[in-house]
Amino acid sequence: MDIKTDIKQTLEELNNATGITFSMDTDMSEEETLEKLKLLLNRYKGMTNSKDDFYIKLFEGKLNETEIADGTRKFHLSDVGYKTVFMLDFKDTYTDMDITIITSLFYPSPVDVVRVDDRTLCVIQYSQLKPSRKNTESTAYEMLDMIETQSMNPVRISYDEAFENYEEAPDIYKHLQLIRKVGQIFCSDKYVYGYYQMGLEKILYLTDTDILTDYCFENMPDADFNELDTETINTIKTFLESDLSIAETARKLYLHRNTLVYRLDKFQKDTGLDVRKFQDAFKCHMGFLINKLM
Amino acid sequence: MANITLKNICKTYPNGAEAVKDFNLDIKDKEFIIFVGPSGCGKSTTLRMIAGLEDITAGELTIDGKVMNDVEPKDRDIAMVFQNYALYPHMTVFDNMAFALKLRKVPADVIKEKVEHAAKVLNLTEYLQRKPKALSGGQRQRVAMGRAIVREPKVFLMDEPLSNLDAKLRVQMRTEISKLHDDLGATIIYVTHDQTEAMTLGTRIVVMKDGVAQQIDTPQNLYNKPCNQFVAGFIGSPQMNFIDAVIKKVGDKVYASIDGGKTDLLIPAAKAKTLIEKGYEGKTVVFGIRPEDINDSQMFIETAQECKFDAKINVYELLGAEVFLYFDYAGAKVTARVDPRTTARTGDTVTFAFDMEKSHFFDKETEMTITN
């Protein structure tokens, strides 16, 4: 191989590794150029050849089976048992204090904290037994409360089911990326999002907006959810969350039963939806969600 | 010193949901302020805006005169306690309380002094070397509070700190938090949905609904002079009874006519005057009466002949020191709290009398008080 081909190949490799397109404009000799390029490439590889880099590439689906096996061996990652990934999105940059708080909370259980970017951390919790959904949710809330009370750094946490094989990691990561977007749209007043908790919201997020607009027009032509006041919204939402029970809703809202019935009647008059009937209640629920999305 | 002012504070989420609307409050140094209200009323959001964990959409938050809207949470000199009192499982009580100070590079001797002081205040001294798993739920919650105390903040923010404890422990911790407030002399803002907690702990209570502060007042005033039907129903357990009534004037006397005119209740002079002056004669209003202001004692009934009625008891509930009698009256479900020596039982028709001096009247449309 002549030196020109060698330079060309090294440059291509550097471009591929960094994702940046470099071009050359130099007075250096070809030998010197090749040496500098190789040094740059090796430095970059060395810099990114960390556990964080392995995990990020794994999450992004950039590793094949062999590379995954090599990585788990190199970084002494357990191949048996379950892994749960929590994605932590900080409002501002996270600090070393946040990472110390997380690792201390899990200690002595094994855990890895991956710096995805300056505002996102992924916490990988290892366990022999598959944690229940309830336990995973409770772990997420413990992390949230600990970070918010100890370092006072606002954060939102997304999580999914635990997985066994590292090959499943890219799918889990996609789930987390999806659910954090869905959570922030539909549940912006919540701080912890479980992938399996927002089924309908996920479907709506992934549905074409024209289809959603048509659905509203066809099923709720008289309903304008933007025009509703907070009191009406809270009343109807509580009624839907209370399995359409007037007694339970009145109790939760500290309302007289007759006042609640009056509000439901008024809502029906304004929107054409009688939420006491399941079909209309479902349409109304869809309407609230679509309104948030659009 | 920690005087906190919230001026026209609003919170609107990116999806357009309005969580808090035009919230105004002046909190004086060393006050124990309670935010109370049903789920989704905006109380936690308001607390989180004070902490800096949520952005303020509009309005101004000041602590000791300094605008805090854009100050980082960690620089606001406040400490928070949440309901999920997560502790570091491998650390002792001492280390759990000391951890945040260690991370902030506070000298070891200062940490020791602060932790020992907090442990003394919280009666945790003998548990300092224990690990969390060897503590009860109440003790763990106290450690969580200890972590806040060692930071010696200007303001303590507590978001439903007792809701993970069982009922008995909650009552015990309530007393301890009250004592803690006296001992620390700190400003505390406390969020709860439990009106008993609110009434027993707060120097002032903010009752919230749909993102709006309904009434800000002392526990006694909230109970005796609710500003609207919501506050009247929210504060007090069992809640206030509400019955539709038409205001009727006969000669010098003013009556609340109930049940289609079957019963006319004589309204005391001062309340009657207000009702007439405000133009409610002939109009339907909501008559409110607390369960303890419905009497079944013969002595009371004899003195209140123009406020008595008969009702058939649906449910008799003995709670030891008191009895709740449930019955239907004038289309409403009514609860009376009576003396446990009552002879009334389920199925009996009993004569009751309202203590009209304690009656409340609310506008049927606006639900605002007319007579308080």
Give the Cβ contact number of residue B304 at 10 Å: 18
Smallest Cβ distance to B17: which of A92, A153, A189? A189
Same domain? For A95 and A148 the reply is yes
CA distance B134 to B127: 9
Whole-prediction pTM value? Answer: 0.85
Q: Taking 70 as the threshold, does the pLDDT of residue A1 lie above it? A: no
State the smallest CA–CA distance between residue B53 and chain A in angstroms: 5
A213 within domain boundaries: yes
State which residues form the domain around A27: 3-46
**Domain edge (last residue) among A163, A197, A231:** A197
Taking CB atoms and an 8 Å limit, are A105 and B88 in contact across chains? yes
Same domain? For A158 and A285 the reply is no
Query: Hey, which residues 115-144 in chain A have their CB within 8 Å of chain B?
Result: 138, 141-144
Residues B238 and B335: beta-carbon distance below 8 Å: yes
Predicted local distance difference test score (pLDDT) of residue B209: 93
Bridge-based pairing of strands B253-258 and B241-250 is antiparallel
Name the closest residue on chain B to residue A235, using Cα atoms: B210
A123 within domain boundaries: yes
A15 within domain boundaries: yes
Smallest Cβ distance to B84: which of A107, A145, A234? A145
**Domain edge (last residue) among A197, A218, A244:** A197
CATH number at A250 reads: 1.10.10.2840
Query: Hey, which residues 221-240 in chain A have their CB within 8 Å of chain B?
Result: 226, 230-231, 233-234, 237-238
Taking CB atoms and an 8 Å limit, are A146 and B74 in contact across chains? no
| Residues linked to residue A194 through DSSP beta bridges, in sequence order | A159
Phi-psi region of B311 (alpha: psi -120 to 50; beta: other; left: phi over 0): beta
Same domain? For A217 and A94 the reply is no
Name the closest residue on chain A to residue B103, using Cα atoms: A97
**Domain edge (last residue) among A162, A197, A232:** A197
- What DSSP designation does A42 have? H
Taking CB atoms and an 8 Å limit, are B91 and A108 in contact across chains? no
CATH number at A63 reads: 3.30.70.270
Average pLDDT over residues A146-160: 94
A86 within domain boundaries: yes
Q: Taking 80 as the threshold, does the pLDDT of residue A99 lie above it? A: yes
Q: Which chain B residues are within 8 Å of A104, Cβ to Cβ?
A: 88, 90-91, 99
Q: Taking 90 as the threshold, does the pLDDT of residue A6 lie above it? A: no
| Regions of chain B with pLDDT less than 50 | none
Same domain? For A65 and A193 the reply is yes
Same domain? For A188 and A74 the reply is yes
Same domain? For A60 and A98 the reply is yes
A84 within domain boundaries: yes
Q: Which helix (H) or strand (E) holds A120?
A: strand A120-127
A161 within domain boundaries: yes
Domains: count for chain A: 3
Higher pLDDT, A278 or A39: A278
Predicted local distance difference test score (pLDDT) of residue B183: 85
**Amino acid at the residue A26:** T
Same domain? For A267 and A161 the reply is no
Smallest Cβ distance to B73: which of A104, A152, A259? A152
- Given the structure tokens 């009376």, which residue do they identify? B336
- Chain pair A-B, CB pairs under 8 angstroms: 105
Smallest Cβ distance to B86: which of A146, A151, A259? A146
Q: Is A255 on the interface with B (CB under 8 A)?
A: yes
Residues A256 and A262: beta-carbon distance below 8 Å: no
A202 within domain boundaries: no
Under the banding of pLDDT at 50, 70 and 90, the label for residue A50 is confident
Average pLDDT over residues A185-204: 92
A179 within domain boundaries: yes
Taking CB atoms and an 8 Å limit, are A188 and B15 in contact across chains? yes
Same domain? For A114 and A245 the reply is no
Same domain? For A227 and A153 the reply is no
State the smallest CA–CA distance between residue A153 and chain B in angstroms: 7
Taking CB atoms and an 8 Å limit, are B242 and A256 in contact across chains? yes
Same domain? For A113 and A226 the reply is no
Predicted local distance difference test score (pLDDT) of residue A252: 86
Same domain? For A81 and A164 the reply is yes
Same domain? For A63 and A151 the reply is yes
